[in-house]
Chains A and B, each alone.
Chain A
Amino acid sequence: MTDRSESDRLQQENWLQRTVRRPEIGAFIVMMIIIVALAMASGGKAFNALGLKNNIAIIAQLGIIATGAALLMIAGEFDLSIGPMIAFAGMSIAIMMKWGLPFGLGEATPFLAFLITLIMTLAFGWLIGTIVVKSGLSSFIVTLAFWFFLRGLTEVCFRLINQNTNVSGLPDFKKESWFAEQMGGEVFGWFYDAWYWIGTKIAAGVEFTGDMTKSEKIDLINYLSFLNINRKMEQWVTGFDARLFWFIVIAGAAWYVLARTQLGSWIYATGDNKESARANGVPVNRVKVGLFMFSAFCATIFATCQVFDTNSSDAAKGMFKELEAIAIAVVGGILMTGGFGTIVGVVFGAVTFGLVANAVFFIPWIDGAWFRVFVGTVLLAAVFANERIRKRITGGI
């Protein structure tokens, strides 16, 4: 009896049990189901050379802002201003590219436009964070105020400077600017080059002949699409969207910071119990303000990629993106109350949401609005699952 201690009551688990109990497991299972279901329903088209590129593009896009939202939520705060921040940043860059730098400082380069915009968005992030920590008000209400403020400001600026609520038909800056190419162009070309190279080996000898029926031709095109070969027997897709690069950089950095650094410990501590974190010397307010700025940074990267990809911007950009980012974070296992969650889960959530958002393009018979029905259902399920995890850890179950 005497050699039994309290800690013996905690059952030691093996590798499999630990894996099953990981907070990301729910997000992982949902993601796998979606991948398999989408692959089957689209006849594999969702994952052929172009399908993969398009899916990854939207996954990366959502993942970038979800990472910012997730870190902030782990620290116990919300940011509803992500969407308007995207619109504001897009407006700022597009207007500078069209009308030049402010105060008549001459022509804008893509990098300069980005830099000036980033300074402004970071300042907004700082302002939001400072208001939240100094006033002690709920970040929900403060960022809701900034939702309206930034949406309005964006539209006003568009109309004042451009006499229109959008800027379109900008020249393609990707050709001359390395920066624009890095934001809106393509990356990891080697992946698709290799895919094509392997494809040519597999499809050696295959060719279109005059005596093929139409359906035979379609079948062949379909077959070649999985080998990254187009109907002229050339390389079909040349690279991923540059967003993928930024998603990897941002999510990778966020993962590293959370899991391995002092700052990560501070973020968890801040969201878990602010008062005890403060009592132990964690600079709670600085952590929060910094994360509001990081969220604004993610929104700015999102907007910059969009502007240099499409060479346009309009006042409605980023609509609902704050809600999607929060939903992804929750589905990824981030607790609404803060203090818990991982970036790995957020990546799973982003993959799930990206695939479902894009599903309408690969499954023609599906109504795109089902996306939102799906989001609502999964979100609710995720909240219940997360709450269960929280109770299990804090001894409720």
Chain B
Amino acid sequence: MAEKSYMRVENVVKKFGPFTALDGVDLDVTPGEIHALLGDNGAGKSTLIKILSGVHQPTSGTIYVDEKKVFFRNPRDAAAAGIGTVYQDLAINQLMSVTRNFFMGRELTSTFGVLRMDDMDKIAHEEMKKIGIDFSDPSQAVGTMSGGQRQTLAIARAIYFGAKVLILDEPTSALGQKQQMEVLKTIKRVRARGDIAIIFITHNEIHSKLIADRYTFLALGKVIGAGTKKELAGEDIRRLMAGGAEISDLEQELSVI
């Protein structure tokens, strides 16, 4: 890749007391690239993204943003450095309108805290249109939207408020088949902008194959495989997804029972 990376993680270790959640993890994300972070439950994916988004602090290791060494004391530090995290619960309020959700906590105001509702409606509409949803009515309550649309809202919001690295925590889980495809399209559109690095956390091998440019596999707190799409063969991905175990081993084990 000729592009230079925006964020680089080097040898990050995270210990919770005697438990080592992450044991020397490296990660590299580049604008315009989708970096799939895969691994089984308990592999350390969540711990890693919590470190990247400032929720946890690493025990050792370094994070570089734009080639500068950074230390995130809290989520606000991470947000200021351009790390936007879209969690599974999306931090969205169902009874509120699309626009009010889009600007929640960061409303545009004129004097005395009066909302610039027209501007906000316009921006919310445009930002969401850019990545795939054309809303006729920004005053629509979010509760009436589909899961995929909510995901789009949360992504558009993170981008608008300055995310250079977009961390998506299992964006396709808990969605129907068709909505999963919508979300994948949305992610692809964000990639097409070229200025945002995407970390795509997933369980789903097929989804990662469909859109990812680069992979990192975690198992038991370590990177067990990493590389671009070309470097990794299809069969390899499945093996790494299962935490390194051969699928044939699994078949054998299952047949014994």
Contact = CB atoms under 8 A, between A and B. Distances in A.
> Are A and B co-members of a single complex?
yes
B16 interface: no
Interface in A255-284: 260-266, 268-269, 272-273, 275-277, 279-282
Contacts of B137: 10, 12
Given A276-B92, A393-B94, A7 B106 contact: no
B169 to A, nearest CB: 13
Contact of A7 (B117, B133, B143): B133
A274 B6 CA distance: 33
B112 A261 contact: yes
A110 interface: no
A335 B109 CA distance: 27
Contacts of B117: 260
Contacts of A393: 94-95, 141, 143-144
Interface in A32-81: none
A297 B92 CA distance: 32
A390 interface: yes
Interface residues of A, number: 30
Contact of A261 (B105, B114, B135, B140): B114
A276 B144 CA distance: 18
A281 B93 contact: no
B232 interface: no
A273 B89 CA distance: 11
B58 interface: no
A252 to B, nearest CB: 15
Contacts of B134: 5, 7
A339 B96 CA distance: 8
A282 B135 CA distance: 25
Contacts of A269: 93, 96, 100, 104-105
A282 B96 contact: no
Interface residues of B, number: 35
Nearest to B93: A272
B160 interface: no
B135 A7 contact: yes
Contacts of A234: none
B107 A265 contact: yes
Nearest to B99: A265
B149 interface: yes
A394 B94 contact: yes
B148 A339 contact: no
Contacts of A279: 87, 91
Contacts of A260: 114-115, 117
Interface in A230-261: 260-261
A277 B144 CA distance: 19
B104 A265 contact: yes
B103 interface: yes
Contacts of A276: 89-93, 104
B95 A390 contact: yes
Given A393-B144, A395-B143, A339 B105 contact: no
A272 B100 CA distance: 12
A263 B115 CA distance: 9
Interface in B73-110: 87, 89-96, 100, 103-107, 109
Nearest to A281: B105
A282 B144 contact: no
Interface in B24-58: none
B93 A277 contact: yes
B104 A5 contact: no
Interface string A279-304: 11110000000000000000000000
Q: Taking each of B105, B113, B182, which has the highest tally of chain A beta carbons within 10 Å of its own beta carbon? A: B105
A266 B105 CA distance: 7
A260 B118 CA distance: 11
Given A6-B146, A393-B95, A280 B104 contact: yes
Nearest to B132: A5
B136 A277 contact: no
Interface string B136-155: 11001101111011000000
Contacts of A340: 95
Contact of B96 (A12, A272, A335, A390): A272
B182 A6 contact: yes
Contact of B133 (A5, A335, A339, A394): A5
A273 B140 contact: no
Contact of A280 (B91, B112, B149): B91
A6 B115 contact: no
Given A261-B115, A395-B144, A272 B95 contact: yes
Contacts of B93: 268-269, 272-273, 276-277, 339
Given A6-B148, A393-B144, A268 B95 contact: yes
Contacts of A261: 109, 112-115
A390 B140 CA distance: 14
A266 B101 CA distance: 10
15 contacts: A7-B134, A10-B144, A263-B113, A268-B96, A272-B93, A273-B93, A275-B89, A276-B89, A276-B90, A277-B93, A277-B104, A279-B87, A393-B94, A393-B143, A394-B143
Given A262-B107, A268-B100, 14 more contacts: A7-B133, A7-B136, A7-B149, A10-B137, A261-B113, A273-B92, A273-B93, A277-B93, A280-B104, A282-B105, A335-B95, A393-B95, A393-B143, A394-B95
